[in-house]
Amino acid sequence: MSSSTPLLEYTLHLADDVLILGHRNSEWTGHGPILEQDIALSNIALDLIGQARNFYQYAAGLAGNDSGESIYPAGGGGVVTEDTLAFLRDGWDFRNSLLTEQTNGDWAKTILRQFFFSAFQVDLYEQLAVGRDTTLAAIGAKAYKEALYHLRWSSEWVIRLGDGTDESHQRMKKALEELWKFTGELYIPAPYERWAAEAEIGPDLSQLRVRWKERVKEVFDEAGLTYPVTEWMQTGGKEGRHTEQLGYVLAEMQFLQRAYPGCEW
Task: Among 1, 35, 229, 263, indicate the residue that binds another protein (CB under 8 A).
Answer: 35
CA dihedral (12, 14, 20, 25) positive or negative: negative
- Please say which residue, 11 or 25, places its beta carbon nearer to another protein: 25
Phi and psi for 130 in degrees, rounded to 5?
Answer: -110, 15
- Please say which residue, 40 or 253, places its beta carbon nearer to another protein: 40
Does the footprint of another protein cover residue 26 (CB under 8 A)? no
Q: What residues contact residue 134 under an 8 Å CB cut-off, 6+ apart? A: none
# of chain residues touching another protein (CB under 8 A) = 11
CB 59 within 8 A of CB 192: no
Task: Among 1, 31, 36, 76, indicate the residue that binds another protein (CB under 8 A).
Answer: 36
- Helix or strand (DSSP H, E) at 176: helix 166-179
Does the footprint of another protein cover residue 30 (CB under 8 A)? no
Helix, strand, or coil here: 51? helix
Q: Which stretch binds another protein (CB under 8 A): 31-39, 53-61, 98-106, 206-214?
A: 31-39
Q: What residues contact residue 52 under an 8 Å CB cut-off, 6+ apart? A: 15, 16, 18, 19, 22, 86
Q: Sketch the per residue contact string, 148 through 177, with another protein: x for CB under 8 A, - otherwise.
A: ----xx--x---x-----------------
Does the footprint of another protein cover residue 210 (CB under 8 A)? no
CB 242 within 8 A of CB 94: yes
Does the footprint of another protein cover residue 40 (CB under 8 A)? yes
Binding site for another protein (CB under 8 A): 34-37, 39-40, 43, 152-153, 156, 160
